[in-house]
Amino acid sequence: MCADEPDPRADSGASTDTGDENLTPTLVKGRRGRVHLWLEGTATVCGAAVDPQAQDTWVADDWAEQVRCYNCAYRHTPPGYLRPRSASDFPLRQACPQHPHAPAGGCHLCDVDAAPAAGRRSGEYWSDPEIETLLKLLAAGHTADDIAARVGRTATGIRSRCRMLLPGPDARARTADLDLHALLVNDPNYDWRGALRETYARQGQFYWDAPADEQLRTAWQSRRPMHELVAPSVPPNPRSPPDWSRSTLPPTPPTWSPRSGPARAARCTNEHGWLQTAARPLCGS
C-alpha cells in the first residue's frame, strides 16, 4: 500500500492511537514531497520507511498544521483537531470545544449563520444536536433550501430527515418540511425522538442516540462478548415470515445431480416458485 494513499482499514468514527504517549513532534519530507510525521526509529506514523540522514527533517511545535500525509494525520490526530476525511483536508483544522466534530470558528451548531459549503455534509450521520438545530430552524419558519445552505446539507436530505421525524408511515417527503413546521407550531414540545424510533423500527433499524452510545462504550470497556453488544441494537420485531418469503434464499437446498463428471444443469421452478437445479443428461449420452 502506498503511504500517501488513505488506509481503507481506518475507521472514520473511532479514535486511533499509535501507542506512543510522548510523541516527538518531528516532521520529515518524503520522496513525493509529502510532509510525514516521524516517530523515533526509521518509519513514519503511516509506515513509510525513511532515512533521517538523507531526508529533510525538522522539529515543529505546530506540526499538526504542517503535516500533509493523510495516514499520518489520521492515525495520530492531536487532541483539539479535526480528523481528516480526505487528502484535501490540510492543514488540519481545530475542532469546536462544544462540538468536537465541527470546526472551530465556523461551527454551524453554535452559530447557524456560520454555514459550511452547501451539500458538503450530504449523507453524514444526523446527531441529536443537529436534529434539534433543524427543528429550531423549522419552527422559526426557514425553508428546506435555507436550512440546507446553513447546515451544509441538501434540500432533499433535509426533507428526507423531516419525513423520518413525522409520525406514521404515510408522511410524504415532498412536503415533509412544511408538515413538520405546522406540527411544531401546534406542539412546541413534540416528541421527535419517539417518532424517529418508530420510523427506524418500521425500517428494521435501530435509533442510535447518545445513551445507546454510552452503553456501548461501557460494555466495550468491560469486554463483553460481541453478541451481547449487538443484541440491544436488534429491533424487537425483526422481519416477519412474509418478508422472508420475498428474499432470494430458497426454502430448501437446491437439488444437484448425483452423477459424477460434467453434467448440464437446467433451471426449473418448483411448487414454491423457487429456482432449483435439476440434472439433465449430456447430449448423446
Find out whether 131 and 161 touch, Cβ atoms under 8 Å.
yes
Cβ-count burial of 191 within 10 angstroms (0-12 exposed, 13-18 middle, 19+ buried)? Answer: exposed
Looking at the fold, whether 50 and 103 belong to one and the same domain comes out as: no
Are residues 177 and 154 part of one domain?
yes
Confirm whether 171 is domain-assigned: yes
Q: Which residues of the chain have pLDDT under 50?
A: 1-21, 114, 236-285
Helix (H) or strand (E) holding 199: helix 192-202
Q: Answer yes or no: do 101 and 82 share one domain.
A: no
Type of residue numbered 27: L
Q: Are residues 61 and 125 in the same domain?
A: no
137 shares its domain with 58:
no
Q: Which long-range contacts (CB under 8 A, 24 or more apart) does 226-230 make?
A: none
Answer whether residue 262 is part of any domain.
no
280 belongs to a structural domain: no
Interatomic CA distance for residues 229 and 215, integer angstroms: 9
Contact 8, 40 (CB under 8 A): no
Is 28 part of any domain?
yes
- Looking at the structure of the chain, the number of domains it has is 2
Residues 32, 44 share a domain:
yes
Residue whose entry in the numeric block shows the C-alpha cell 506512543? 20
CA distance 231 to 225: 10
Output the pLDDT for position 264. 41
Average pLDDT, the chain: 70
Instruction: Identify the pLDDT of residue 109.
Output: 66
Same domain, residue pair 51 and 133: no
Are both 150 and 107 inside the same structural domain?
yes
Residue 284 belongs to a domain: no
Residue type present at position 171: A
Residues spanned by the domain of 54: 1-94
Q: How far apart are CA 116 and CA 85, in angstroms?
A: 15
Report which of 285, 233, 231 is spatially closest to residue 259, judged by C-alpha positions.
285
Both 34 and 88 in one domain: the answer is yes
Q: Is 142 part of any domain? A: yes
How many whole angstroms from its chain centre is CA 244?
A: 27
Which among 66, 94, 122 is the end of a domain? 94
**Same-domain check for residues 120 and 61:** no
Domain boundary (94, 117, 145) is at: 94
**Is the backbone peptide bond immediately before 91 cis, with ω within 30 degrees of 0?**
yes
What is the rounded CA–CA span in Å between residue 35 and residue 55? 11
Q: Which of 200, 232, 247 is the last residue of a domain?
A: 200
**Which amino acid is located at 234 in the chain?**
V
Q: Does residue 80 belong to any structural domain of this protein? A: yes
Q: 59 and 40, same structural domain?
A: yes
Q: Are strands 275-280 and 35-38 parallel, antiparallel or unpaired?
A: unpaired
**Residue 8 has which C-alpha cell?**
481503507
Task: Confirm if 188 and 180 have CB atoms less than 8 A apart.
Answer: no
Closest CA to 164 of 192, 199, 203: 199
pLDDT of residue 277: 46
Q: Check if the beta carbon of residue 34 is closer than 8 Å to that of residue 45.
A: no
Q: Does residue 170 belong to any structural domain of this protein?
A: yes
CA separation for the pair 104, 84 (Å, rounded): 14
Q: Does 90 share its domain with 159? A: no
